[in-house]
Structure 1
Amino acid sequence: MTAEAPPVAVVDKPEEAVARTGPRAWLSRHPLAAYALRRFGLYLIELWGALTIAFFFFRMMPGDPINTLIQSLQQNYIYNAQASAEIIARYQHEFGLDGNIFSQYLKYMEKLILHGDLGPSLINYPTPAQDVILRSLPWTIGLLGISAVLSWLIGIVVGAIAGWRRGKAGSAIITNLSIALAHVPFFFVALILVYVFAYTLGWLPARSAYDSNINPGFSLDFIGSVLKYGFLPGLSIVGIGAMGWILSTRMLMVPVLGEDYLVYAEAKGLKPWRILTRYALRNCYLPQVTAFGISLGFIFNGNVLVEQLFNYPGLGTTLVTAIQQLDFNTILGVTDMAIFSVLTAVLLLDLLLPLLDPRVKYWK
């Protein structure tokens, strides 16, 4: 007789143990990539929605930019005859104003997404609006961008020291001064600086971006002229902008000082400066980094009043001129750039915050 083999017990594997394939299985094994993809998809939806709202908002503004262009041509003796229906129709088609508002929207989004074309600029016809914006963009980044970075750095450092040394006379002076000046308008400070340093003392120029007698280029004379002419508007922005960062950093620093991990670090014999920079400040700058990233987007709008006061050729001046002449393409171009920069900054911060602070996790 042949002995029969004992029956083999079959154990049902749980569904979780069964190997799965496909995109969803890969995403479940890579939670960081899944979060990045979800966040990027949300970013695209937000960008599309914001650009759409901006388009319809400005298209519904009262006024006819074509009539504005015809009047401008007549005033410059370029066009003296009565504008015919064919000429008006041509301009309407060229500026994307023919058809109903929905067809205008589809044409605008097609040119913007596929070709990066904003259409011609009314304030500098027939130059494309993107070229007009790109000519003003370096001046705005150079003035407002550098000023924003300096004000943020000064505010973080001074605010952290003021919070760390709370109760001291120096901290009280800095805090009260920041409270008094944080909400003073930039242009008001700019007026005071112009009166003192330009008209009274005559040390610095009051208007323009550089000396008109110097040819623009990468030369020491031109760079020195740009720095000299940009000192007063930059100082007005840095001086007031830093006050707000000082207050917010101090507000975040003071509650952290009573935490147990700081007491433990002090008991270990760590130096106060190391405790401030490596422990206390590290837990305070996270909200400041987020706020700074969002504020960078507003650089592209330009500080309109400051640029107008100093006759600075930045995006603020370009935007004001475009609004006065109903240049929808240039207005939308500046607005779209601001929208794109703000949303992109928020996206990058959401992806970088877990690297800055290991406690931040957006995935399981």
Structure 2
Amino acid sequence: MKYVLSRLSFFIVSVWAAVTINFVLPRMMPGNPADAMFAKFQNNLTPQAMTALKLEFGFSNQPLIVQYFDYLKGLITLHWGLSFTYYPTPTKTVIAHSLPWTIGLVGITTLISVFLGTGLGILIAWRRGGALDNTLPIVSLFFQAAPYMWTGLLLLYFLSFKLGWFPLAHGYALSVQPSWSISFILSVLKHAILPGITIFLGSFSGWLIGMRNNMILTLGEDYVVFAEAKGVRPSRLMLMYAARNAILPQITSFAIAIGNVVSGSILTEVVFSYPGIGAQLQAAVLQQDYPLIQAAFLMIALSVLLANLLVDLLYSRLDPRVRAGGATV
């Protein structure tokens, strides 16, 4: 219980710090975001109309502490302001429309990478020196070293532009209407294949090599050697003795990966014009859409913190030494 309370306390303090930094940073930037936003209206609106528009977007001359508490109240009540880019659409609506695309694409691809990379890492470590062990890590490292954008552009050029096997952009065909129909679902899956492959190729190697190295270290431990000498079945020795302990560091990495699902893969989404959080964040930066930038960064920070909290609690169940010693992951 003491360990759980300490992790919850750390989580609450971290959330407060993330929220505060998200409030302070835009106000520390040079220039005035209100002036940058409303400069294009200077010749078309009266001073009274300009003041009313600024109030609608939430800009005020109140003291900073008053603005801060208004900002906290808005977060709690889900009033995150209006998007400059998609005015008069609320920022939370833009986030809500983009978030499922990123979670669906990056989340599923991340899970496939984790389970496939971890499973193959266990296998090639158990059979180290074999054909898979000599080839798979090298090939996967090549794709991990290549930038996401470069891999995505190559896939687009050869498989979409040259061969026409896959669509060039967007999340679904413009000829279908968003719904739960078979045609829409198949269109979404077809559009997600190339960006999914791009993300998979960039992350698979880390899981594969990380698990392989952990397994090799664990296989050299005394308790594994002793169990092997006692005649424990090879499958049980591999999974219950070696893999069960070697997988613990992977769980910590998994927390970071799951937390980063919300941020998506910005360059991949931009290359494929995929309608996720990454593409929206890039558009918000280009348009100086400060409410949307703040909301996107806050979602990313909260997702990372929440994922780390959940994995800290899970880690304490898998490794009692963490709970007993009060150590942090």
**TM-score bucket (shorter structure):** over 0.9
Cross-structure match for 1:344:
306
Alignment pair present for 1:291 and 2:253? yes
The worse-fitting range, judged by mean Cα deviation, of 199-208 and 234-243 is 199-208
Instruction: State the Cα distance separating 1:69 from its structure 2 match.
Output: 4.3
Cross-structure match for 2:207:
245
Using the alignment, how far apart are the partners of 1:172 and 1:363 within structure 2? 40
Instruction: State the Cα distance separating 1:116 from its structure 2 match.
Output: 2.0
Gaps in structure 1 of 5+ consecutive residues = 1-31, 75-79
Using the alignment, how far apart are the partners of 1:169 and 1:302 within structure 2? 34
Alignment pair present for 1:301 and 2:269? no
Instruction: State the Cα distance separating 1:276 from its structure 2 match.
Output: 1.5
Instruction: State the Cα distance separating 1:298 from its structure 2 match.
Output: 1.6
Instruction: State the Cα distance separating 1:49 from its structure 2 match.
Output: 0.8
Cross-structure match for 1:10:
none
User: Is the contact between residue 140 and residue 302 of structure 1 (CA under 8 Å) also seen in structure 2?
Assistant: yes
User: Is the contact between residue 354 and residue 360 of structure 1 (CA under 8 Å) also seen in structure 2?
Assistant: yes
SS at match of 1:235: helix
Alignment pair present for 1:48 and 2:16? yes
Output the TM-score relative to the length of structure 2. 0.92
- Selected match of 1:225 from 175, 179, 187: 187
Cross-structure match for 2:4:
36
Cross-structure match for 1:166:
128
Using the alignment, how far apart are the partners of 1:81 and 1:206 within structure 2? 40
User: Is the contact between residue 3 and residue 323 of structure 2 (CA under 8 Å) also seen in structure 1?
Assistant: no
User: Is the contact between residue 160 and residue 249 of structure 1 (CA under 8 Å) also seen in structure 2?
Assistant: yes
Query: Which residue identity lines up with residue 283 of structure 1 in the other structure?
Result: N
Cross-structure match for 2:26:
58
Cross-structure match for 1:209:
171
Instruction: State the Cα distance separating 1:63 from its structure 2 match.
Output: 4.5
Using the alignment, how far apart are the partners of 1:224 and 1:92 within structure 2? 44
Kindly tell me the number of residue pairs found equivalent between the two proteins. Answer: 325
Using the alignment, how far apart are the partners of 1:264 and 1:362 within structure 2? 26
Map 1:312-327; keep pairs closer than 5 Å. 312-327=274-289
Using the alignment, how far apart are the partners of 1:236 and 1:327 within structure 2? 28
User: Is the contact between residue 144 and residue 201 of structure 2 (CA under 8 Å) also seen in structure 1?
Assistant: no
- Selected match of 2:159 from 185, 191, 197: 197
Using the alignment, how far apart are the partners of 2:71 and 2:209 within structure 1? 43
Instruction: State the Cα distance separating 1:228 from its structure 2 match.
Output: 0.5
Higher-Rg member (1/2): 1
* Deviation per residue, 1:266-313 (Å, 9 max, x gap): 233333222211111111111111111122122222211111111111
- State the Cα RMSD in Å: 2.0
User: Is the contact between residue 152 and residue 194 of structure 2 (CA under 8 Å) also seen in structure 1?
Assistant: yes
Using the alignment, how far apart are the partners of 1:189 and 1:335 within structure 2? 26
Query: Which residue identity lines up with residue 74 of structure 2 in the other structure?
Result: K
User: Is the contact between residue 190 and residue 232 of structure 1 (CA under 8 Å) also seen in structure 2?
Assistant: yes
Query: Which residue identity lines up with residue 299 of structure 1 in the other structure?
Result: V
The worse-fitting range, judged by mean Cα deviation, of 103-112 and 202-211 is 103-112
Using the alignment, how far apart are the partners of 1:89 and 1:199 within structure 2? 49
Cross-structure match for 2:75:
112
Using the alignment, how far apart are the partners of 1:236 and 1:82 within structure 2? 46
User: Is the contact between residue 214 and residue 222 of structure 1 (CA under 8 Å) also seen in structure 2?
Assistant: yes
User: Cα–Cα, structure 1 residues 61 and 341, in superposed 2: closer, same or farther, change >3 Å?
Assistant: same
Using the alignment, how far apart are the partners of 2:98 and 2:30 within structure 1? 26
Using the alignment, how far apart are the partners of 1:362 and 1:307 within structure 2? 43
Instruction: State the Cα distance separating 1:104 from its structure 2 match.
Output: 2.4
Alignment pair present for 1:183 and 2:145? yes
SS at match of 1:210: coil
Map 1:260-275; keep pairs closer than 5 Å. 260-275=222-237
Cross-structure match for 2:85:
123
Using the alignment, how far apart are the partners of 2:257 and 2:324 within structure 1? 23
Output the TM-score relative to the length of structure 1. 0.84
The worse-fitting range, judged by mean Cα deviation, of 338-347 and 271-280 is 271-280
Query: Which residue identity lines up with residue 132 of structure 1 in the other structure?
Result: V
User: Is the contact between residue 307 and residue 314 of structure 1 (CA under 8 Å) also seen in structure 2?
Assistant: yes
Query: Which residue identity lines up with residue 62 of structure 1 in the other structure?
Result: P
Query: Which residue identity lines up with residue 10 of structure 2 in the other structure?
Result: L
SS at match of 1:127: coil
| Aligned-pair identity (%) | 39
Gaps in structure 2 of 5+ consecutive residues = none
Using the alignment, how far apart are the partners of 2:322 and 2:6 within structure 1? 17
Query: Which residue identity lines up with residue 9 of structure 2 in the other structure?
Result: G
- Selected match of 1:103 from 54, 66, 71: 66
Whose helix proportion is higher, 1 or 2?
Answer: 2
Using the alignment, how far apart are the partners of 1:44 and 1:341 within structure 2? 13
